[in-house]
Amino acid sequence: MNKTLVAYFSATGTTKAAAQKLAKELGADLYEITPEVPYTSADLDWRDKGSRSTLEMKDRSSRPAIKGRCENIADYDTVWIGFPVWWYTAPTIVNTFIEAHDLGGKVLNVFATSGGSNVTGSAGDLKKAYPQYKWGESRLMN
């Protein structure tokens, strides 16, 4: 089979552009991880201790709802999971996506965008949280 999926969460569009570039490079399909309730600019204000993103990231058990599922996830051997780095790790909505899909038997790769962090910590956190999966490479795509 050897099909690749690029699944991504993009709050501002930066990660979407990186996902599109990666999908083109790999000849992969794209899937956007879409929050059930879209993030506003106020939600994303990391300086506001009461903002939605800050509260979600403080609570590691937070699982923001996503719209739908990737119904044909079984068709893919490799899944790239992309996101902007928040608080030095993946936004908790990425966990929602991972936990909503059967990713067993697939190679999972990580790509991220960030204004100041690398992808190593984020990838390590996901590998530690989901050791049952086969993890491959990680890329920072600014």
Which of 129, 139, 122 shows the shortest CA–CA distance to 80?
A: 139
Please write the tens of the pLDDT for every residue from 87-121. Answer: 999 999 999 999 999 999 999 999 999 988 899 99
pTM above 0.85, yes or no: yes
Is residue 1's pLDDT more than 70?
no
Which of 18, 35, 25 shows the shortest CA–CA distance to 4?
A: 25
Q: Which amino acid is at 130?
A: Y
The rounded distance, in Å, linking the Cα atoms of 105 and 33 is 21
- The CA R_g of the chain, rounded to the nearest whole Å, is 14
Q: Taking a C-beta distance cutoff of 8 angstroms, is the pair 129, 96 a contact? A: no
